[in-house]
Chains A and B, each alone.
Chain A
Amino acid sequence: DSGVTQTPKHLITATGQRVTLRCSPRSGDLSVYWYQQSLDQGLQFLIQYYNGEERAKGNILERFSAQQFPDLHSELNLSSLELGDSALYFCANSVEGGNTIYFGEGSWLTVV
């Protein structure tokens, strides 16, 4: 158990809709990363927050946004969903000076 909690575990929604994925970090972890894992793209880094501020941005679409709240939980918002957004979305926290990341169990998003 990584200690990183993600909700919901599974989500099915229609194209054009908006969803919010939630991540509760390990206690004391200031960094949060979001990754997308799809069949054709593999594991793609989306975005990182550190103590509430955006630290790094990867291959995140403009339709997607994220934020980290004062209590360090994070949300990933996905809007105007397309079929291709169907994927497993991971949240992760870093420890040990940021050089190891521990993943949550992921949120399976299916867009129909």
Chain B
Amino acid sequence: AQKVTQAQTEISVVEKEDVTLDCVYETRDTTYYLFWYKQPPSGELVFLIRRNSFDEQNEISGRYSWNFQKSTSSFNFTITASQVVDSAVYFCALIKNTGNQFYFGTGTSLTVIP
């Protein structure tokens, strides 16, 4: 069975601080995909990144970076120099290569205080 755990329910940081959102997953499959989605207060779910299980290279996109470590089954997300607009709920998700269902974590609510 697949499972995604986001242990941090809520995080508050002051603007310009760095923050890391944790994601730990469970799967018996060797091929799978991991995702991060952002849900701002307006409600929509915005796709941020997809990473397949064979690619453990870290990725950086502007102030966002992702650290994928298969050894610890983790796919953590770091926001550097946080901004108020980063305030949102962030979801980590997993899908098997042959699966149809995305398994979502319970989300981490990030508040960036100006």
Residues of A bordering B, CB below 8 Å: 2, 33, 42-43, 45, 48, 55-56, 58, 88, 90, 92, 96, 98-106, 108
Any A CB within 8 A of the CB of B102: yes
Contact A105 B101 (CB under 8 A): no
Q: Is B27 an interface residue (CB 8 A)?
A: no
CA–CA, A36 and B95, complex, Å: 17
| A99 to chain B: closest residue by CB | B33
Q: How many residues of B contact A (CB 8 A)?
A: 20
In the assembly, what is the distance between CA of A42 and CA of B35, in Å?
Answer: 16
Chain A residue numbers with a CB within 8 Å of B102 are: 33, 45, 101
Q: Helix, strand, loop or mixed for chain A's interface?
A: strand
**Interface with A: B11-19, B43-51, B59-67, B68-76, which one?**
B43-51
- List, sorted by A's number, 7 A–B pairs whose CB atoms are closer than 8 Å: A99-B52, A99-B95, A100-B33, A101-B47, A103-B46, A104-B44, A106-B44
Interface residues of B in 74-114 (CB under 8 A from A): 91, 95, 97, 100-102, 104, 106-107
The 8 Å CB contact of B101, one of A58, A88, A99, A100, is A58
List B residues at the A interface (Cβ < 8 Å).
33, 35, 37, 42-47, 50, 52, 91, 95, 97, 100-102, 104, 106-107
